[in-house]
Amino acid sequence: MPNHAIFLDRDGTLNEDPGYISNPDKVVLFPDTGEALSLLKKYGFLLIIISNQSGIARGKITNKEVDAVNSRINSLLSEYKVKVDAFYYCPAHPDYNSDEECDCRKPSPKLVFEAVKEFDIDLEKSYFIGDAVSDIQCGKNAGIKTILVRTGKGEESFSILQKENNFPTFVADNLLNACNFILADI
């Protein structure tokens, strides 16, 4: 039987986004992140991060530093007895890389489809949560329900989506609010 998943943006959705986090000790989860992810896990959702990490292409961070930050996120989440099942990220940026190298960048659904293949995920029973326009577009491009959180760039993104008449399935104040929407929807 296929799995269902919550695809999540990382910076601005799970944790504060100071820009190009390279030091794992600087990771600060939003207050409701652990509780929300723990609740989703209890309902059997896989938790999969889909993230653009263009700081790698820009020379501001390394793959090793991104991996260390991801590891730190799981370490902080262990307090809530939950962990992210997989981290997928695109290191490319159009100013530094070819179109082909950038084909994994959100709003492209390429990384979502890689996770679907790896984890046998049913997209009809899955959701994409993020704080940016590219997150919502990625989820829509993958054919899944989308939730914009007002944390991170969420307020600014909502204005852009509103002007484009390109609304997410749901808008949430934070990750816990998004989680409650999902649990009411399943």
User: Which tokens belong to 139?
Assistant: 């989820």
C-alpha 54/C-alpha 74 separation (Å) is 21
Collapsed DSSP state (helix, strand, coil) of residue 119: helix
* Of residues 176, 167, 4, 7, the one with CA closest to residue 87: 7
- Number of residues that this document lists for the chain: 186
Contact assessment for residue 3 and residue 46, using Cβ atoms and an 8 Å cutoff: yes
Active site includes 9?
yes
Contact assessment for residue 104 and residue 78, using Cβ atoms and an 8 Å cutoff: no
Catalytic residue among 11, 17, 32, 131: 11
Active site includes 103?
no
Alpha-carbon 91 to chain mean position: 15
Catalytic residue among 9, 17, 32, 85: 9
C-alpha 65/C-alpha 129 separation (Å) is 24
Amino acid at 24: P
Residues recognised as catalytic = 9, 11
